[in-house]
Chain A
């Protein structure tokens, strides 16, 4: 009976996907449903929850600090998309080229920052962008007679610092995605193009870029998520979750402030749900426009 069951062709696929389904239900679906319910409650650990309807959501929409955190996260995400897709793609093409010297060296040096602990990197960047005359950036600018800048007290400068940190950490990783994408492009296309007299730029535009589209879609999707979920970098850069005028506060930072620091779990759950909705809308739109939902042609 058991043997029949296990060897059944109809049952086997379900058995194989069962671990995934279980993990999905236990660690994703259950917490999600729970968070959704909690977002309609006034819940603090150690106290009985109270059902308050959509009050958390209506409060969030008028919470200026929350709106600041959304703005910061979206600007950061867009910044990472602009910087961390074209440049890694370009570097990958350069490193993939046979004309390039020291390819392996560049590959490992670009990847090295990804191995560094974000706590260390954030702290080093905080000191680099410190407001003292002696901090690295200000000493450098001092060579050109520039007055010291309070980098981490100014919205634009601090966003620039966060983006520089993101580029430093993730360029190598995205570059590796693109390198693996490049390996899957058949060399015959390039040979055919060369015979037709195509220039390097024409080859890049008409062969490399279109064939790297699946990689670009993947990198965009994870960058959207990573950009919106950024927290630790800001925490380390500003030496805590409280930056001047909240210039470094992200959506997750706001969630952490409400849920963990203030024990307002219901309010924090509503923030989490809104973050999920924003990330889903952006990613589904992006996937729709990049044609990822179309059935593959035979």
Chain B
């Protein structure tokens, strides 16, 4: 009898352990490699590419097909490896700085980019020669953020112009017309009405991202750092920005959101449930609506951001991913030419909009209605208004926030300590920002 029960226990343990190990690590932390370039011939050069966004691989797949067609003598096969965000950046930093194991091409997120440009020996290839033909058609600020000492090291996928996305269904219930929201005061009054009539919040108080700080600083022509790259996060502009947000929070216009900011799984769940009526996010957030918030199709309209006073710049380019070529690759020149083609050419920018739904940095395509207003495009179908109508309206008002050596530290301290202290614990804004300034200076010593 005892033997039998022991046997049953062992079998149970084995089955359960198999079940658990079969689950493995969660799907978002999986590393996958696949080869792209099915139309390449036998003599094609094999290059490797690391990214942390699956969709970026899909875009490069389309571009690779075109490249191989147009360049029969320089065909490429691309081994794409998709890794989780932190994992990929940490591995890449180790690989490029040690000179061993790095891929030929890689995606580096803007917030991580300064780490790769530190010191005298930048481990990335300068892209100046392949950038030259496109110099006049791209948004200059989106290239400067990946540059150091006149050398360009990365090409972005998008401008990331910040836009206001309004849930018109909720606003209509509250009797609010989003078109009348021009200033933060209008936004506040609209939010008060929304909360009174529907019990929902108009916006979010972000505790784990600095999108809001960035756009409010840009509207005042300010930044997180001074002209020498030194942090100045307790500036009068920053205090004004956060005091305004705290006022909105006190009036139930904005509220903290699970996940800490709109671009998290938990927050998208809240949006899907209709608990928040607007997102003030970069243009690339459109792809999150289309791919991850399908229930909201047809409900959202796009408009320029509210401002402090009419005449303030109404947008700022936020987020970004620079595609780079590493120094120890097999065929560095070929990799550079391909990256420029895949990111900056007219064909590339069209595909960037079609596949990724991003606002491309080559602005030629912004004026091409056949592309931007194509009725078959899922991004066109999803929203009540066309993104490029708003983008073209504000295209001369898109400011940039600098990404410098201090930026990763500033982001880290804001996203872990400062924003939680302000919005969760109700700490005085000036006091919290003074403490942040001190902590950042200490960390950078």
B9 engages A105 (CB within 8 Å):
yes
* Residue in A65, A117, A262 whose beta carbon sits within 8 Å of that of B23 in the complex: A117
Interface string of A78-104 (1 = CB under 8 A from B): 000000000000000000000000101
A63 engages B20 (CB within 8 Å):
no
Interface string of A231-248 (1 = CB under 8 A from B): 000000000111111100
Complex interface: stretch among B31-39, B117-125, B193-201, B225-233 = B117-125
A153, closest chain B residue (CB): B424
Interface string of B79-114 (1 = CB under 8 A from A): 000000010011001101111000000000000000
B258 engages A244 (CB within 8 Å):
no
Interface string of A260-290 (1 = CB under 8 A from B): 1111000000000000000000000000000
B90 engages A112 (CB within 8 Å):
no
Question: Footprint of A on B, CB under 8 Å?
Answer: 2, 5-6, 8-10, 12-13, 16-17, 20-21, 23-26, 29, 86, 89-90, 93-94, 96-99, 115, 118-121, 123, 207-208, 258, 260, 266, 269-270, 408, 412, 415-417, 420-421, 424, 439, 442-443, 445
* Residue in A62, A132, A241, A244 whose beta carbon sits within 8 Å of that of B420 in the complex: A244
Best-surrounded residue of B20, B269, B416 (most CB of chain A within 10 A): B416
B20 engages A46 (CB within 8 Å):
no
B420 engages A104 (CB within 8 Å):
no
* Residue in B20, B207, B416 whose beta carbon sits within 8 Å of that of A117 in the complex: B20
Given A132-B266, A244-B208, 18 extra CB contacts under 8 A: A46-B123, A47-B97, A47-B118, A47-B119, A63-B443, A105-B9, A115-B13, A120-B26, A130-B266, A131-B266, A132-B270, A153-B420, A242-B208, A244-B207, A246-B417, A260-B93, A262-B408, A263-B93
B208 engages A44 (CB within 8 Å):
no
* Residue in B118, B123, B421 whose beta carbon sits within 8 Å of that of A245 in the complex: B421
Asked whether A183 is an interface residue with its Cβ less than 8 Å from the other chain, the reply is no
Task: Kindly state the separation between the CA atoms of A105 and B207 in the bound complex, as whole angstroms.
Answer: 45
Using A244-B424, A260-B94 as known contacts, say yes or no to A62 and B13 having CB atoms under 8 A apart: no
Query: Which positions 98-154 of chain A face chain B at CB distance < 8 Å?
Result: 102, 104-105, 107-108, 111-112, 115-117, 119-120, 123, 130-132, 150, 153
B16 → chain A closest CB, angstroms = 6
Question: Footprint of B on A, CB under 8 Å?
Answer: 44-47, 59, 62-65, 102, 104-105, 107-108, 111-112, 115-117, 119-120, 123, 130-132, 150, 153, 240-246, 260-263
* Residue in B90, B96, B98, B119 whose beta carbon sits within 8 Å of that of A260 in the complex: B90
A-B contact count (CB 8 A): 110
B121, closest chain A residue (CB): A46
Query: Which chain B residues lie closer than 8 Å to A131 at the CB level?
Result: 258, 266
B86, closest chain A residue (CB): A240
A59 engages B24 (CB within 8 Å):
no
Query: Which chain B residues lie closer than 8 Å to A153 at the CB level?
Result: 207, 420, 424
Query: Which chain B residues lie closer than 8 Å to A123 at the CB level?
Result: 26
Task: Kindly state the separation between the CA atoms of A62 and B443 in the bound complex, as whole angstroms.
Answer: 10
Using A47-B121, A150-B424 as known contacts, say yes or no to A120 and B208 having CB atoms under 8 A apart: no
Task: Kindly state the separation between the CA atoms of A123 and B28 in the bound complex, as whole angstroms.
Answer: 11
A58 → chain B closest CB, angstroms = 10
Task: Kindly state the separation between the CA atoms of A183 and B121 in the bound complex, as whole angstroms.
Answer: 62
B123 engages A120 (CB within 8 Å):
no
Task: Kindly state the separation between the CA atoms of A28 and B445 in the bound complex, as whole angstroms.
Answer: 31
A186 → chain B closest CB, angstroms = 22
Query: Which chain B residues lie closer than 8 Å to A119 at the CB level?
Result: 24-26, 29
A120 engages B258 (CB within 8 Å):
no
A112 engages B5 (CB within 8 Å):
no
Using A111-B13, A112-B16, A260-B94 as known contacts, say yes or no to A244 and B416 having CB atoms under 8 A apart: yes
Using A108-B9, A119-B25, A153-B424 as known contacts, say yes or no to A46 and B439 having CB atoms under 8 A apart: no
A108 engages B13 (CB within 8 Å):
yes
B406 → chain A closest CB, angstroms = 12
A105 engages B420 (CB within 8 Å):
no
A161 → chain B closest CB, angstroms = 15
A261 engages B416 (CB within 8 Å):
no
Using A115-B17, A242-B416 as known contacts, say yes or no to A46 and B23 having CB atoms under 8 A apart: no
Task: Kindly state the separation between the CA atoms of A242 and B260 in the bound complex, as whole angstroms.
Answer: 12
A257 → chain B closest CB, angstroms = 8
B216 → chain A closest CB, angstroms = 21
A45 engages B416 (CB within 8 Å):
no
Task: Kindly state the separation between the CA atoms of A117 and B20 in the bound complex, as whole angstroms.
Answer: 7
Query: Which chain B residues lie closer than 8 Å to A262 at the CB level?
Result: 115, 408
A65 engages B119 (CB within 8 Å):
no
Task: Kindly state the separation between the CA atoms of A59 and B443 in the bound complex, as whole angstroms.
Answer: 9
Task: Kindly state the separation between the CA atoms of A245 and B96 in the bound complex, as whole angstroms.
Answer: 31
* Residue in A45, A62, A120, A130 whose beta carbon sits within 8 Å of that of B20 in the complex: A120
Q: Please provide the 6 A-B residue pairs with the shortest distance between their CB atoms, ordered closest to farther.
A: A46-B97, A45-B97, A108-B9, A119-B25, A115-B17, A104-B9
Task: Kindly state the separation between the CA atoms of A245 and B427 in the bound complex, as whole angstroms.
Answer: 13
B408, closest chain A residue (CB): A262
Using A46-B119, A46-B121 as known contacts, say yes or no to A115 and B16 having CB atoms under 8 A apart: yes
Query: Which chain A residues lie closer than 8 Å to B21 at the CB level?
Result: 115, 117
A112, closest chain B residue (CB): B16
B24 engages A117 (CB within 8 Å):
yes
Query: Which chain B residues lie closer than 8 Å to A261 at the CB level?
Result: 86, 89-90
